Amino acid sequence: MNQNTVGKTFSAKDLEKSDAELIKNCRRGDESAWDALVSRYQRLIITIPRRAGLSEEQASDVFQEVFLTLFEKLGEIEQPERIRSWLVTTAKFKTWGIIRGQKNLYSPETEEEMEAEMASLADKSPLADDVLIELEQQHQIRTALKDLEERCQKILSMIYLRDAAASYAEVATAIGVGETSISPMRSRCLQKLAKILQK
């Protein structure tokens, strides 16, 4: 299970399924459901060890361990609709396990103790819940984009959904219009997108 290869075999339908539905399908051996679940929470789980000060390699180890543990315990999950909380808690425990080992500290006996100890760590990154909200919003936007005409999809995707936003000149070239047309077209496309998201 490689962090760089997960999430590439699932369909758009998988992305629209609830956590409980994905867990149910994972128990049936549906690999695409597993990939969709991993993709949905990949960034959130990686964020937890990173914001606690672990290296990228250590964060990757936590990621692998969290989903390996989930795979091993798929049949034991009593509330699949709350899998997000399970994943976050598991990631926190595994993160604190690494930190504890580095500092030769005893293991906290309860989740509350662990939370208190982790809260004392220096952290300037977004909170995990904040990151999750952002990811959920991005997912909703990407889903709504599919209901727009192709030109609007391209305009909004290039400007808002790339790591580095495209310039108006680049967008104009891509869709074959003048650069001055992009701003009003972008506004119209955003209005259409907003109406879809309000439904």
* pLDDT tens digits, one per residue of 101-119: 766 555 555 666 655 655 5
- Higher pLDDT residue, 72 or 2? 72
Give the C-alpha separation, 33 to 70, whole Å: 13
pTM over 0.85: no
Residue whose pair of structure tokens reads 């699932």 in the numeric block: 10
Give the C-alpha separation, 22 to 32, whole Å: 9
Per-residue pLDDT of 139-195, as tens digits, reads: 677 778 888 999 999 998 888 877 678 899 999 999 999 999 999 999 999 889 888
